[in-house]
Chain A
Amino acid sequence: NAGVTQTPKFQVLKTGQSMTLQCAQDMNHNSMYWYRQDPGMGLRLIYYSASEGTTDKGEVPNGYNVSRLNKREFSLRLESAAPSQTSVYFCASSERDRKNQPQHFGDGTRLSIL
């Protein structure tokens, strides 16, 4: 009963390195999301994918790219990591057959950039 799986759970990068965070869901959801959570800031939407083949920017997209590889997988890429991108990253998914469906979250990737 996996739900939303994120890999890796932890990662330390040096400034300028690149990194791809992986996310997969097994609930057959159409919509997927990437958030970052910083202390005292709540969750902020980075990118989202309403359905397979589409992606759109969220509130804080600068410095990131995404790929909706198929219906199950949605990856987040940092091309040139910066210390300001140190954060906890959460992937989520939800149904699109009805409105106001709750999102289901993975357990996060804790990313530190030195």
Chain B
Amino acid sequence: DQQVKQNSPSLSVQEGRISILNCDYTNSMFDYFLWYKKYPAEGPTFLISISSIKDKNEDGRFTVFLNKSAKHLSLHIVPSQPGDSAVYFCAAPIDRGSTLGRLYFGRGTQLTVWP
């Protein structure tokens, strides 16, 4: 049973506009979330994270919003650029409060930014 869900397998956005990638989770005990970005033939790379004590975290063009009551988080990319075209994974630590580092991953959303 998936504990981290990305229900949109793909998203297409015009360059310069906002990209919004969504992620839902089922386990209310999750207290930290990460987004990874993956290009073809490469491994995922860490993009941005958010702790459950916050509802927003921003890093340049990337902002993650967390709505705990809805068990929902979203990644906003503004403005979108063609180089942002990649698969984006949402993830949450399996072991809450631990340094163990195991992660649940969503199935990913393929973002395509067209000129």
Tell me the A residues contacting B by CB distance below 8 Å.
4, 31, 33, 35, 40-45, 48, 50, 58, 90, 92, 94-108
The CA of A106 and the CA of B42, in the complex, are separated in Å by: 7
Q: For the complex, what is the distance from the CA of A101 to the CA of B45, rounded to whole Å?
A: 13
Chain B residues 5 to 59 lying within 8 A of chain A, measured CB to CB, are 6, 9, 32, 34, 41-46, 49, 51
Interface size classification for chain B: 20 to 34
Interface stretch (choices B60-68, B77-85, B95-103): B95-103
CB distance from A29 to the nearest CB of B (A): 9
On B, residues with C-beta under 8 Å from A are 6, 9, 32, 34, 41-46, 49, 51, 89, 93-94, 97-103, 105-108
Which secondary structure dominates chain B's binding surface? loop
* Given the contacts A42-B108, A100-B32, A102-B34, A90 and B44 also touching, CB distance less than 8 Å: yes
- CA separation between A52 and B60, bound complex, in Å? 37
User: Would you call B105 and A99 a contact (CB within 8 A)?
Assistant: no
